[in-house]
Each structure stands twice: as structure tokens, then as C-alpha cells.
Amino acid sequence: MNTCICYIFSCFLSLAAHFHPVHVSVLNVEFAKGGKSIDLSFKAFTSDFELAIAHNYSIALNLGKPNENPDAINYINKYFSGVFSISINNKDHLKPIFKKKEFNEDAIWLYFTIPLNERVKDMVISDLLLMDIYEDQTNLVIVSINGKESGYRLTINQRDAKIKI
């Protein structure tokens, strides 16, 4: 009987680790010293991110595991090109360049950079990450410019952050 209870309890804990009631991602936008680029870092629950990829492309990435899909970076870029955009000085959307991915407990960090050719006066950030999966998804955007931080909360109803520099 004790073995059965331990088994059920361990199954419950395993499920609790994969499902969570909060659907939040964080995007850090940081201007590199010298103003030559913008560095982006996205943080989301790995399970949510993998679910979004599976939902959109019918493929399992197995991120951070020995059997990680060899095309994982291509799918990450493909997904991001559909859910994230940034325009600077009212110009066309700029394409972020993937740098790396890291894992921290249940979260994945995805790092991108955007080279800059001119001084930034204003920008519009659209971050729809995981909003195709969860109606209650909230994406927090933190913009750091010259040591000052500004925060924005993006949702299905408020998809863009308009920022004056």
C-alpha cells in the first residue's frame, strides 16, 4: 500500500512540474554599449515553448535533452519570425539573429541580437510569444537604455509596446 501511495505521489509531483497555472514570458531588451546592437533575451517555461513548436509545426524539439532535434535552431527562428517583431525609427521590421539558448530549471532562455546602423529614436516591439497557445499569456518586456529600465505588459489585447528613446 505504501508503495502505491508513493507511486501516485511521485506521479503527481511529476505532473505538477510540467503544468503550471501562470503563463508568463520575459523579454529583456538591452542596448549594447556604443549603440551598435540591441540584445534580446527571452525567458519562458521550456514545456510551454516546446508545446508551441509542436502545435505549430507538429514536431518535438526535446530541447536540452540528448535526443534534441538537430533542426531545433531552425524551428526556433521560424517560430520567432512569426510571433516577434521590432521596428526602429518607423522602418520595416528588423530580423533578430539567434545567438544561443540556455536552460535554467524549468525555463529556457533564448538570446538574439539585432545589429543597428543608425541611432534609435523610437521603436515598436510586438511580442506574441506563446499567445497562440494560451489566451491568458502575458509577456513582460523590460527595456534597458543607458542604465534606465522601462517595463511593458503585453497580452492578447495589448500586443505592442511603443517606446520613445
**pLDDT for the residue numbered 81:** 93
Residue 11 clears pLDDT 70, i.e. is over it: no
Residues in contact with 105: Cβ distance below 8 Å, sequence separation at least 6, in sequence order: none
Winning range, highest mean pLDDT, from 6-20, 55-69, 145-159: 55-69
pTM of the model: 0.84
**pLDDT for the residue numbered 20:** 59
pLDDT (tens digit, 9 = 90+) per residue, 117-150? 888 899 999 999 999 999 999 999 999 988 889 9
**pLDDT for the residue numbered 77:** 96
